[in-house]
Structure 1
């Protein structure tokens, strides 16, 4: 069962149903992996990503939220945040 969280401008869908992932074409999106590290990022485009593996703390203006394997996350265009990759991450992503 999925659970939708809207926090800090992010939309996080925890454990979206497989039908939703198929409809979005998630498995055909570009794949990106990164070992544990921290970096600042500004989104030039709206990005939707699906976390396959890992755990990330996203910090925006001194507030944070964790995203984990099984989360579908929407980052709005223009968002400025820090990624603290706590457990190596592997994700599919799409700019839309």
Structure 2
């Protein structure tokens, strides 16, 4: 009597997930208009909108990807907007309600 042969199933390799290189512009709201180019040898990442022409450049490391540069840019834009709102709220140019009457 012989043993029945068992077929061995080889595990399949998972394909790595491809990250986007084009994103939506927060200024002009145009879809996939942000193009990112990484110069890893120089340590510089460039970001530009093909529609409205907004540009941004930043220092990068060899581990950074396109999404890292885009998220850093969006975070800085939000910080600037938050500062402008708080400055406008506490600005001396605003007239108190008592003087308006």
The TM tier, using the shorter chain, reads under 0.3
Give the alignment's TM-score, normalised by structure 1: 0.21
Bigger strand fraction:
1
Which protein is bigger by CA-based radius of gyration?
2
Bigger helix fraction:
2
Which has the bigger relative contact order, CA under 8 A and spacing at least 6? 1
